[in-house]
Amino acid sequence: MRRTRYPEKAMPPTPQAVVFDFDGIIVDSEPAHYRAFQVVLEPRGLGYAWDRYIDYYMGLDDRDGFREAFRAAGQEVGQDELEELIAAKHAAFEGEMAVGLDPIPGAVDCVRRLREVFPLAVCSGALRGEVLPTLEGLGIAAAFRTVVSAEDVAHSKPDPASYRLAVERLGADLKRDLEPGACVAIEDTPTGAASARDAGLLVIGLDPQGAGPEGAHRTVRSLDELTAENL
């Protein structure tokens, strides 16, 4: 597939807020999500390889992840069955959380560093019951003024609804309107970058290889690079 090249775009002189993705930005949870999906899908003959998860499923919330798995097999999933699948996957993921999820290198320090200057939010396609306990376990839950999770929107990333809601909620908490174009999102997937861009935010991509994600205005190799001064 041919990659679309997006030019770098200058960050605002003083960003009004910073919005963190969760999976892949704060915590290394994608392998755990993959295993939890397979626990539910493989008995139904709908399992798939890790590479396919990376290429097609990563960045989708549980609803769209299951819908896509059924669609790929030429099947449909009803709303009642979908809710049962999501509950089963969440139970499997809780087992993964009990073992422990590793933070992305530099994530905790980055959050603590930026919270001293900017209001922060989390915008995630994960369930609230997965996001909040992890943030609390890392000792950074209080750093975020709001958390937008999968339950808060009807459509997952790349739809821009979740980022629009994050900016709206941050503005309500701050008791002032925020300009999306003066807010910065930190993302690691093309679907997340597209969601933030279409909501009007500027996007900093995280990629240790320095190549992506596609759609980011700027890319860093490590969260250690993000400081209030260079943001």
The DSSP annotation for 139-190 comes to T-GGG-SEEE-GGG-SS-TTSTHHHHHHHHHHHHHHTS---GGGEEEEESSH
For domain 17-29+101-225, which architecture applies? 3-Layer(aba) Sandwich (3.40)
The ranges assigned to domains in the chain are: 17-29+101-225, 30-99
Query: What does pLDDT average to over the chain?
Result: 92
pLDDT of residue 58: 86
Q: How far apart are CA 178 and CA 172, in angstroms?
A: 9
Listed residue (196, 218, 220) closest to 207, CA to CA: 220
For residue range 106-156, what is the model confidence (pLDDT) as tens digits? 999 999 999 999 999 999 999 898 899 999 999 999 999 999 999 999 998
Query: Pairing between strand 120-123 and 202-206?
Result: unpaired
For residue range 6-32, what is the model confidence (pLDDT) as tens digits? 445 555 568 999 999 999 999 998 899
Q: Which fold has domain 30-99?
A: DNA polymerase; domain 1 (1.10.150)
For residue range 185-202, what is the model confidence (pLDDT) as tens digits? 999 999 999 999 999 999
Would 17-29+101-225 and 30-99 be classified into the same CATH topology? no
Tokens for 81, please give them: 């069955």
pLDDT interval class at 2 (50, 70, 90):
very low
Give the bridge partners for 122, in sequence order: 20, 147
Cβ–Cβ under 8 Å, residues 17 and 146: no
Length, in residues, of the chain: 231
